[in-house]
Amino acid sequence: MEQGFTASADASRIHAWFAARSTWQRRGIAFLAGVLATLGHAPFQLTLLYVVAITVLIWLLDGAAEQPKKIMRAAVLGWFFGLGHFATGVYWVSSAFLVDSASWGPIWGVPAALGLAGGLAIFFALGCALAAPFWTRDLRRLPLFAACLFVSEWLRGHVFGGFPWILPGYVWTPGEPVSQLASVVGVYGLSLLTLLIAAAPAAIADGGASAGRRFAPTLAAALLVGMGWGWGEQRLSRAPLELPGASPIVRVADSGLSQAEKWEGRPDQEWRVLQHYLAASGDPEQSNAQIVIWPEGAIPVVNFFMLDNQNFMDAIGRGMGDRVLITGLSRYEARAAGVAYFNSAAVIDGVSGAPRLGQIYDKHRLVPFGEFIPLWSLVSSFNIAPLQRIGAGFEAGAPPTRLIIPDAPPALVLICYEAIFPGMTPRGDERPGWLVSVTNDAWFGDLRWFTGPWQHYAMARYRSIEEGLPMARAASGGVSAIVDSFGREVASTQGGSLWAEAQLPPALAETLFAGLGNIFVPALLVFILGLRFLPAGLLLARGRKS
């Protein structure tokens, strides 16, 4: 048996139990803890289970710190934790391969999801490896762990284009009091605080320490949560009670079609899909909405591009009447070097049934392998195509800027997974009055069986909290909703409807995060990491039982 904390006379029973497990048993426990951590996220939002998962990981790292090659052992445990976490957190990726199974084959979804999970797990391995050289056997290891794992999570959200999916801060239900802290420190700052809180109960198992020293971190964490809850509750209580009369009524609509049904290769396919959207948009003579929003790529490109077919555009104009339509679409531009394709959103202003094309936004952050193939010039010979099978994929547009919406405040459009990236909203004079999120969550699987659409919806709501701006979200196959500036749901399609409608909630004054970004996060990180390097004789160090 490998020796762990059992070598110490003051080892706790918990540490002794972990030390008595075999190498693969400990790795299996790390994997299961990672699975448990996923239950902290949407649609479950069981935050306490996330705390339990992080606590177990720290206890496993305690044992690794007592053994030879502790950095490698810590990295392996972190990787298995990450594998369990992401295998259950992003398994929905497999559903995208079922949409075009004739091209990809239905079996490719499983290895693709496991491969993505294994790659993302490397960041957890990195965080645990960073902490291992400075690990202690007292309370100071807790802030060390939180700081190091946060650094690896920040890297996951930024390197190689970034994939900040299910960050630790998202375990707090959006719209509830604790989530309001994101208006100050953003979801990254909230993630750092969450890791510190989740690490605190690990001190309970510190053998040789007095009861006060063992339970003090948990009590401090509970106090921090209580303070955050109280502050958030006060912020919510100051929410505007009356909506300004000039705010437009917005309707978000979905076709109700699955991804496969949407892309049936019929000669009238675009027209068939259009009828579904017009039905969900309502009769322009009877609808109260002034603005209608359709999801990302609402109309498929089977026979023609929507903007090139005037008859099709005229039909949209008649269906909208005098209303404004904001819709996701695919478009192209002819260039000297060839044709460039874009995943876009357009503002179409209906004037007495005549469509008038306004501003267009081309998606800035594209999904690797979903919308483009990295290093295409090198891999094109292997006949690999992106899941969004339009040419060789889309090209990226310029960073998002606000769009002028007739009879409404300027809006910022975020397409698909752009909504999971904090800080994309312009500041100052360019700050919009509301956010529009258009997405095709049908790629993420059926809402009844796949958690991806629920996770995406929860993360998008955090952008409203951070920026203090309301959001209208149109999600094909997902949750379409109107969300207020605190991340609270005003109206949604969760009851099974194909549309939701509400008056646009008011925007708030620029939040601290909206004005300053992540400026507080580095200072918070330095402070928390600095706790590790306090002298061992101070209160943070473990004392002996008297």
Residue 69 is a catalytic residue: no
Closest C-alpha among 117, 135, 110 to residue 59 = 135
Per-residue pLDDT, 382? 47
Strands 324-335 and 291-293: parallel
For 22-79, what is each residue's pLDDT tens digit? 999 999 999 999 999 999 999 999 999 999 999 999 999 999 999 999 999 999 999 9
At 3, is the pLDDT very low, low, confident or very high (cuts 50, 70, 90)? very low
- Would you identify the CATH topology of the domain 249-507? Nitrilase/N-carbamoyl-D-aminoacid amidohydrolase (3.60.110)
Residue tagged active-site, from 416, 466, 489, 501: 416
Q: Which residue of the set 128, 270, 363, 418 is catalytic?
A: 363
Q: Indicate the pTM of the whole model.
A: 0.92
Q: What is the mean pLDDT of residues 454-480?
A: 97
Backbone phi and psi for residue 306, each to the nearest 5 degrees, phi listed first: -55, -45
Cα–Cα distance for residue pair 361/454, rounded to 1 Å:
25
8 Å CB contact between 481 and 490: yes
pLDDT in the model for residue 374 = 56
- pLDDT of 399 reads 94
Residue 249 pLDDT exceeds 50: yes
- Residues 252-281 have pLDDT tens digits of 999 999 988 999 999 999 999 999 999 999
CATH 3.60.110.10 domain locations along the chain: 249-507
pLDDT over threshold 80, residue 109: no
If you write DSSP's letter for every residue of 464-529 in order, what string do you get? HHHHT--EEEEEETS--EEE-TTS-EEEESTTS-SEEEEEPPPPPSPPHHHHHTTTHHHHHHHHHH
What pLDDT does residue 10 have? 56
Residue 128: active-site member? no
Residue 532 has pLDDT above 90, yes or no: yes
Q: pLDDT band for 544, please (50, 70, 90 cuts).
A: very low
In the chain, % of residues over pLDDT 70: 89
Inter-residue contact 122 to 79 (CB < 8 Å): yes
152 touches 124 (CB < 8 A): yes
Examine the residue annotation and report whether 70 is marked as an active-site residue of this protein. Answer: no
- Residue 131 is predicted with a pLDDT of 98
Of the candidates 66, 153, 270, 296, the residue annotated as catalytic is 296
Q: Tell me the average pLDDT of the chain.
A: 90
In contact, 347 and 326? CB cutoff 8 Å: yes
For the residues 352-381, what does the mean pLDDT come to?
A: 76
What is the spatial distance between Cα 99 and Cα 102, in angstroms, rounded to a whole number? 8
Of the listed ranges 104-118, 140-154, 294-308, 457-471, the one predicted with least confidence: 104-118
